Amino acid sequence: MRIEGVELDRISFYDSTLFAIRCTRRVQPLFNLNDNLRVCGKYIVLQEEALSLAEEVIQLQPDLSHYLFRGLKNYLGPLNEACALSAGSETSNATATSIVRSVQSVIDWMYDNPTNNPAYAIDASIVAGTAVDKSFFKTVQGDFFQYRTYLDEVLLPGALPKLDWASLWSDVSPFWFKMSQQLQQDVLQNETREKVNGELLSPPMIEIIWDPEIISHEEYSDIVKALGDLARSQGALGVERIRSTSCDVPTSEGALL
């Protein structure tokens, strides 16, 4: 089997599945539905949960991973639904396809049923990645040969592993990845705070009902900032405003109030 020059059949089904998940992780932040983040939010959450579970399952020994495995198949339906909804965008559709194939690869691995799913997952990730970064294929290809060399070396007597995959990128993460990742992280934070129907999973610890006819914008800002100062004085990072669309409160860039 060759994937545009990448000889995936040179590594085991287990290793090719790990490699597929790694490729998928790089393009996962590119998933969107016509920039309607509120609509695709639940699918972003499902994809993250499915990929995280797939990573946990395949990293465990087969006799242990079956405890986690049962829930993995339940994600395939919603993930395929995300594929269908993203069909209008080649990048989003390729990203969703890559995630589905990666998850299916882990399921196949559990059943000891080697398939082409890792190859399809990597192909889809290349399509999605190349749409925003023309050098993406070279990144995947170089990553593969580094992985292949590593597998050869660890088989030698006395060899020590030299591959460090603590980061998804061998160098600095591309700008498009950082931007897309931040956008997805914002969606994930919102979705874990709220149910799809808008109902809060847990109520805010403090609720401020602001009547602008009684309290001015400046006074409201002073109250919120004072609460942030109080939280920080007790060792917390600050406070975060939830469901607030009335006005902005000036604060340092990147800091909680």
Q: Is pLDDT of 114 > 70? A: yes
pLDDT in tens, 233-248: 766 667 766 655 556 6
> In this predicted structure, what is the pLDDT of residue 200?
42
Lowest-confidence segment of 85-99, 118-132, 147-161 by average pLDDT: 147-161
95 close to 28: Cβ distance less than 8 angstroms:
yes
Q: What is the mean pLDDT of residues 166-182?
A: 82
> Per residue, what are the HEC states of the chain?
CCECCECHHHCCHHHHHHHHHHHHHHHHHHCCCCCCHHHHHHHHHHHHHHHHHHHHHHHCCHHHHHHHHCCCHHHHHHHHHHHHHCCCCHHHHHHHHHHHHHHHHHHHHHCCCCCCHHHHHHHHHHHHHHHHCCCHHHHHHHHHHHHHHHHHHHCCCCCCCCCCCCCCCCCCCCHHHHHHHHHHHHHHHHHHHECCCCCECCCCCCCCCCCCCCCCHHHHHHHHHHHHHHHHHCCCCCCCCCCCCCCCCCCCCCCCC
> In this predicted structure, what is the pLDDT of residue 254?
46
> In this predicted structure, what is the pLDDT of residue 197?
46
Q: Is pLDDT of 203 > 50? A: no
Residue 14 pLDDT level (bands cut at 50, 70, 90): confident
Q: pLDDT higher for 49 or 161?
A: 49
pTM of the model: 0.69
Lowest-confidence segment of 1-5, 96-100, 127-131, 222-226 by average pLDDT: 1-5
Q: Is pLDDT of 20 > 80? A: yes
Residue 42 pLDDT level (bands cut at 50, 70, 90): confident
